Structures are given as C-alpha cells and as structure tokens.
Structure 1
Amino acid sequence: MNKVVLITGGSSGLGKAIGEFLRAKDYKVYGTSRNPDKIKDSVFPLLALDVRNPQSIQNAVSELISKEGRIDVLVNNAGVGITGPIEEMPLEEMKNNFDTNFFGPIEMMKAVLPQMRSQKSGLIINITSIAGYMGLPYRGIYSASKGALELITEALRMEVRSFGIKVTNIAPGDFATNIAAGRFHSPLLPGSAYEKAYGSILKTMDAHVDSGANPDDMGLAVYAIIQKQDPGIHYKVGTFMQRFSIILKRILPDRMYEKMLMNHYKL
C-alpha cells in the first residue's frame, strides 16, 4: 500500500521539490497552499490550508482522511523568513513568524496525531533550519522560531513513541528557492544605528539563497528518512561548512564562536 504523505507549504520551494520527489517514488502526495486555486503547475493535489488558522488545519486534515482513510507521513514544511534588527522589528511580524514557523507546525501535529494513533503508526518530519542551531545577527527571530521547533520535536518524539508514531526533523541550509522573496524584511531606516550593518548583511543573506543547493536534495533526504525503521532525532542537509558550523558551536568556547560569526558577517 502506497503511503499517504501530507506536505504543508507544498506549492513552491522545498515543499514542492519534496512532493515531486516522493510522487516519483509512487507515494500518494498531498500538498497544501493558502490559495490552491491559484496554483496551476502542481503535479500533486493541493489542499486549502493556512497553518496560522487552527480551523483551516482541521478542515484540511479531515478532508485528507475522508479521501484516503489514513495519514502516514506529515512533513511540516510551511515556513517564512524574517530579517531585521531585533530592536526595530515590529511585534506583529515577530508573532506572525512564530505563528507560521512554530505554533502552526504544532497545530498540524496535534491534528494528525489522533489518526496516526488509531493506525498505530505514523511519521512526522519537521523542517527546521541550520539557522535554528545558533542565534544569527539580524535573523534572530527566525533562528529562535526554528530552534524552538527543534526542541518541540525532541519532546514530542518521546511522548508519542509508545503509540508507534515517530518524530524527527531535518535542518536545511541555504537552498535555491523563493524564500528570500517571501521574507519579511524590516525596512532599512535612514539614520538607524543598524543601517550600515543590516544593509550589508541583507545583501549577503539573499546572495546565499540565490546560490543555494538544489531543492531536490531535500526530497532525497525526506525519502531516505521515510525508508528508515527507526529514524534519528536530527538530520542536517547543507554544505559541509553549514553542517560543520553546528559542530563548531558544540566544541568552541562561546566567545570564540561568537567572534567567528561576527567575522563572517563583518560586524
């Protein structure tokens, strides 16, 4: 029996790449989009869903269960970027980021768990970020939201293991997707104390995304995890230096690691 996979944010970027890869492997793939009627090029069905809206989540999950009778894999992929000095970041934008990157995925997991528990099986894969392992300058809110999802993954994994449900996460580095276009960028305020440093880092961050890896690599990573009998807790997908930066944080003194980041960002 082909497994049923639900991917949030499946209309573009990493979600679309993951869905297309799994569909080519004969999985029954469903993606989600806030406006699925506007998406004309999807090779798999898209359900209407906004991860910031609990009722929208319940409706989409109920629709999928009605169609397929089961949910074998949830890929919590929907997310948004956010940049800017923390001092100048609008509160509503910080809340929106956490609603999308943290609370939304939690509500998705809560929505599928009863079905997975009744099946006595299921796999949840949370897409986090290598940025979630460190507080990055001018990306602090994004780092915090993804880091929080990493910790929730660890906790939930232990809570649901006895039900036959597995939980893991994948932390990607920079990929060539449209995430930069969808980010909220705090405006460069003339005369701001952060104008020069933030403006320089903003250009660097967008350049990293533009020259990022092929999103198909994430499809392969998700596929490999689904094949495992007992997936690990954390997976990282990115360049050697991106993955090595996490190891360095574990072994270097705090101030030395901080200095390394500041040199990287020319601060």
Structure 2
Amino acid sequence: MSKVILITGASSGIGKAIGEFLHHKGYTVYGTSRNPEKVFNSVFPLLALDVRSTESITTCIAKVISISGRIDVVVNNAGVGIIGPLEEIPTSEIRNNFETNLFGPIEVMKAILPQMRSQKSGLIINITSIAGYMGLPYRAVYSASKGALEYVTEALRMEVKPFNIEITNVAPGEFATNIAASRYHVPLSPASAYSNYAKTIETINEQVDGGDDPKAMAETIYKIINTEKPNVHYKVGPFLSKFSIVLKRILPDKRYEKMLMKHYKL
C-alpha cells in the first residue's frame, strides 16, 4: 500500500519539489497551501491549511484521514523568511515569524501524533535551516525560529520512541527558490543607523539566486522515508553552507564571528 504523505507549504519552492518527486515515486501525496485555489499547476492535491490556525490544521488532517484512512509521513515545510536589523523589525512581524516557523510545526505535530499512535507508526520530518545553527546578522529572528524547531525535534523524538514514531530535522542551506519574494524585510531607509544592511541584503539574495536545485531536498526526503531509523539531523545544500556548521564547532567564537562579518560584508 502506498504511503500517505502530507506536506505543508507545498505550493512552491522546496515543498512543491518534494511533493512532485514523491508523487512520481508512487506515493499518495497531499500538499497544503493557505490559498490552494490560487494554484493551478500542482500534480498532487492541495488542501487549505494555515499553520497559524489550530482549527485549520485539525480540519486538514481530518480530511486527509477521511480520504486515505491514515497519514504515514508529515513533512513540516511551511515557513517564512524575515530579514532586517532586529531593532527595526516590528514585534508583530517577529511574532508572526515564530507563529509560522515554530508554533505552526508544533501544532501540526500535536495534531498528527494521536493518529500516528493509533497506527503504531509514523514519520515526521521538520524542515529547519542551516541558518538555525548560528546567529546570522540581519537574520536573527529567522535563525532563532529555525534553531528552536531543531531543539524541539531533538526532545520530541525521544518522547515518542515508545510509540514507533520517528521524527527528524532536515536543515537546507541555500536553494534557488522564491523565498526572497515572499519574506518580510525591513525597508531600506536613509534614516536607518544600520548603513551596511543594504549590502547584506545583496549578499543574501545572491546566495539564494545561486543556490542548489530544490530537487536535492526532495531526494533527501525520499531517502529518509525509506530509512528504518532516521538520524536526528540532516544537512542539505552547498558544501560551504554545511561546512559552516563544522567551523562553528571548532573555531573560537570571536574568530567565527569575524568570519561571518566578512562574509556578510559588515
């Protein structure tokens, strides 16, 4: 029997790439979007789901179960970017980012765990970010929300092991997606005290534009689904992105900080 897979945030970018890859591999794939009626080119069904709404989450999960009878894999992919000087980011935007990147995935997991316990099996894959392994300039909120999800996953996977449920993190580096168009960014202003913010935006956008093909993420998800006991963490992306985590472990803090500041032209 084909495994039933639910992917949040699957109307574009990494989520869409994962959904298409798994669909062509013969899995029963359901994707989600806040506005599925606006998407016309999906090869798999798209259901309405806003991870900021518990009611929306429970309704979507109940619909998938009513159609397919089970959910074997959940890919928590929905997320939003945010950049800007922390001092200038409205607190409402910080809260919104955490609602989407952290509390949303938590609510999805809380909603699906009873079903997976009743099945006596299940796999949850949380899409985090290599940015979650370090505090990045002008990306403080994004790094924090994704880093928090990494630690939540580490803890929860130990709690659910008695139920034959596996949970893992997949942290992507830079991938060529439309995240830059949809993220929140503090507007550039001549009155801002942070004169180097503009250069950092350019560097970040260049990294995204020159990023890897999202298919690499899809291939990793496919391998994890077919792994009996997945690892705690997976990192996917350009070599330098993954190597930056290693450098953070081995370099003195101040030296690593200088390396980041040079990279971001600060």
TM-score by length of 2: 0.99
CA distance in 2, matches of 1:142, 1:184: 10
Deviations along 1:211-247, one digit per CA (max 9) or x if unpaired, are 1100111100000001100000000001111100000
Question: 1:249: which partner in 2?
Answer: 248
**RMSD of the TM alignment (CA)?**
0.6
CA distance in 2, matches of 1:29, 1:265: 39
Deviation at 1:207, TM superposition (A): 1.2
Deviation at 1:38, TM superposition (A): 1.1
Segments of structure 1 that go 5 or more residues without pairing to the other structure are none
Deviations along 1:14-40, one digit per CA (max 9) or x if unpaired, are 000000000111000000011111110
Matched residue count = 266
CA distance in 1, matches of 2:59, 2:201: 38
Match of 2:261, as an amino acid? Answer: M
Question: 2:173: which partner in 1?
Answer: 173
Equivalent residue of 1:170, what SS?
A: strand
Deviation at 1:189, TM superposition (A): 2.0
Question: 1:140: which partner in 2?
Answer: 140
CA distance in 1, matches of 2:129, 2:223: 18
CA distance in 1, matches of 2:257, 2:202: 21
Equivalent residue of 1:31, what SS?
A: strand
Which residues of 2 match residues 109-258 of structure 1 at below 5 A? 109-194=109-194, 196-258=195-257
Question: 2:3: which partner in 1?
Answer: 3
Match of 2:201, as an amino acid? Answer: L
Match of 2:220, as an amino acid? Answer: A
CA distance in 2, matches of 1:98, 1:225: 26
TM-score by length of 1: 0.99
Check the 8 A contact 2:211/2:238 in 1, yes or no.
no
Match of 1:167, as an amino acid? Answer: I
| TM superposition outliers: structure 1 runs of 4+ over 3 Å | none
CA distance in 1, matches of 2:245, 2:203: 20
Match of 2:218, as an amino acid? Answer: G
* Identity between Structure 1 and Structure 2 (%): 67
CA distance in 2, matches of 1:139, 1:218: 22
CA distance in 2, matches of 1:257, 1:203: 21
CA distance in 2, matches of 1:166, 1:100: 22
Equivalent residue of 1:220, what SS?
A: helix
CA distance in 2, matches of 1:257, 1:40: 45
Match of 2:157, as an amino acid? Answer: R
Deviation at 1:191, TM superposition (A): 1.9
Question: 1:45: which partner in 2?
Answer: 45
Question: 2:67: which partner in 1?
Answer: 67
Match of 2:196, as an amino acid? Answer: A
Question: 2:262: which partner in 1?
Answer: 263
CA distance in 2, matches of 1:266, 1:10: 34
Deviations along 1:126-184, one digit per CA (max 9) or x if unpaired, are 00000000000000000000000000000000000100000001000010111000010
Match of 1:12, as an amino acid? Answer: S
CA distance in 1, matches of 2:156, 2:63: 25
CA distance in 2, matches of 1:221, 1:43: 20
